[in-house]
Structure 1
Amino acid sequence: MQPCSVSKTIFFATVTLILSVFDSYAITSETLPGTRRADAILGDPDDTIFSGHAYRRIVGKSRLHCGATCAGNATGCLSFNYCHDTKVCELNSAGAAQHRQDLIHAEGCNYYDTSTRSVCGMVTDTTYYYRYLPSAVDVRRLEFWVQASHDAHVSLSPALPADPDELYEIVFGSGFNQWADIRRCALCPSEVDVPAPGVVSGSQFRGFWVTFDLHTGLLAAGREGQVTPIMQWVDPAPLDVKYVGFSTGWGSTGIFRYSCSM
């Protein structure tokens, strides 16, 4: 099944079930502390926020959570700002296309327009096989949500079609949701396996991250909002991975959500 963009209308019903409800937060049009107005910001949204249009602030959540909340707010959110160091998310009631003069410099922050950046999704069934995203991605850090009873698999592959003997396999909820694993090939013995009872859920989305350093071979995985990984392993002969795939199996279906710009 090919990954597809999740429209705001369809995604709204799902998001209301999986995201916490936050009170509205009024943001003034004043420049935020530590920012300066940029003379010209063209194209690249790095170190940029859209000032004066935020109607709600969320603190302590990931960028993916911020984007999903914006996508789920079908009537109000047209763009959002996200500051990575402070984990501050601001939902905007307008977009920069009509108010480009309100783009300002803010170190460590990004502006996202939901007309071009949104949340994508993939549904997996009870058969174990990987559905890969068609384009190469930056595997240094991946963030995603998954709803699955057990056996949520992530594959990192150097090429497509993937060679099952030459990939990384990260599993959340193996052993019927009792373990988490890192493997050096598909379904081979684990390089690392750690107890993780209840790490995934069949009734709610759980957020995770995976990081990989090609130079050191360090592969790590953890929960959304937590810096300390659940598990990590150093590959003495690192694979130059570029493609990401998702799978479930053994009686478990899954729904994966991730940034379309991943």
Structure 2
Amino acid sequence: MADLDRVVTGCRACPRLVEWREETARTKRRAYQDWDYWARPIPGFGPPDAPLVLVGLAPAAHGANRTGRIFTGDPSGDILYTALYELGLANRPESVRHGDGLELRGVRVTDPVRCAPPDNKPTTAERDTCRPWITRELQLLRPTVRTVVALGGFAWQALLPAVAAAGWEVPRPRPAFGHAAHVTLPATDGGPPLHLYGCYHVSPRNTNTGRLTTEMLHGLLRTAARTAGLDPNGPGRPPGRSAPPP
């Protein structure tokens, strides 16, 4: 996994995304004029043997594209990591910068598109070009991963072909996205199945309008963690491991 995380940071396969991430790093946002932006693809974050994986959309132009760590330095990350902390799945609620001491417990966070896109909207071609990275990540996680949460409809649609390529069966017709949607995907080799959950994205647009409330997010993450074999505890305390789901 460490090799994969290192190699992905050198990808330049999508010219539009490369141009945007680097242009954003040159112009910067006024509040971050003293920052040296990361301006490269973002690897996944969290232990390489995590039983629970959370999948977003793409790095934020002035968030992960600046800090070099997924869901770090932007409002969506503030919401997500605070929720993980309050469930005992992270050691701190703040997500400020790479190297700030944040650790995830039993959880890995990743994106299907690794570069910040203009207007936060990758094209279908860019999504598909980036797919081998998340497919390989899921293949490496296969011995331990039991549950994946798609944060938003884009992540759900991007995940279905990736999990199929990584060794799980996706039914036809493909399952539809929705908050708290749940589908169990059998392994093609007879191994443990994969539980896929849908969750509205943790964007300010959803949380500020009440489409995704704190209670909804906590409830979904708690259910997903327990399905993955984790037993979420209170703030700052590491989760226990419960019996694996059937």
Higher strand share: 1
TM-score by length of 2: 0.30
TM-score scaled by length of structure 1 = 0.28
Bigger Rg, which one: 1
Task: From the two aligned structures, give the one with the greater helix fraction.
Answer: 2
